[in-house]
Chains A and B, each alone.
Chain A
Amino acid sequence: METKKELPKSFFEKVRPVAPRDSLKNIIPFKFTNDEKVKKGNYKNQKIIKLAK
């Protein structure tokens, strides 16, 4: 993907505060539903997959 804007590398090397412990609670993740390779519940042993573009 071509982007018109990127944040500089130095931006991501800046040390910032860590996130609050519970800040990710109540987030409902997307679920795999229709891909045989990565069905929900089968991802624990999932190896790195480079999906064809």
Chain B
Amino acid sequence: MCKIGDIIGVPRYFGQDGEEVAFHYFVVVSDESGKICGFNFDIVGTVMSSFKDENQRKYKSSFEENVKITESEFDLGNRNKKDGFIKADQLFYFDKTKTNYFVVGQVDGDVLISLLERIGYLDEKNKLTININNILEELEETSGT
């Protein structure tokens, strides 16, 4: 079970092009059950990533879509961590019954509030996008005969 503010690891998930993507961390911004486009979801998350180097830090920090997070502002248990950012403009919808995930830590309350405020701000500017590829129902294959 995860809750809002948790950091979850998702080993495999579907990106926006429908292709499988390897491991990422997500910050849970909603743990309420709901429906979007007719599909059930019970987790909404935003991608969390680390800065590769100083150039990337400057580049990524220049976008209002990204919320910076320092290593002191989140907990990953005994895992290594470093400064990074949360990509606030893309909401990933998950269904716990369809997605493999595990809780690895939490972000600080102030960061969570900043993230939620940024999401609201981006929505007002119509910059918010969604990814529902991970909650779609699989269609049954037909024999074609």
Contact = CB atoms under 8 A, between A and B. Distances in A.
A9 B30 contact: yes
Interface string A7-37: 1010111111111110110111111111100
Contacts, number: 142
B37 A12 contact: no
B102 A46 contact: yes
A50 B9 CA distance: 11
Please classify how large the interface on chain B is, using the bins under 10, 10 to 19, 20 to 34, 35 or more: 35 or more
Given A3-B5, A21-B17, A33 B130 contact: no
Interface residues of A, number: 41
B37 A6 contact: no
Interface of B: 1, 3-6, 9, 11-12, 15-17, 21-25, 29-30, 32, 34-37, 41, 44, 47-52, 56, 76-81, 84, 87, 89-91, 93, 100-104, 106, 109, 112-113, 116-117, 119-120, 123, 128-132
Interface of A: 1-7, 9, 11-21, 23-24, 26-35, 38, 40, 43-44, 46-51
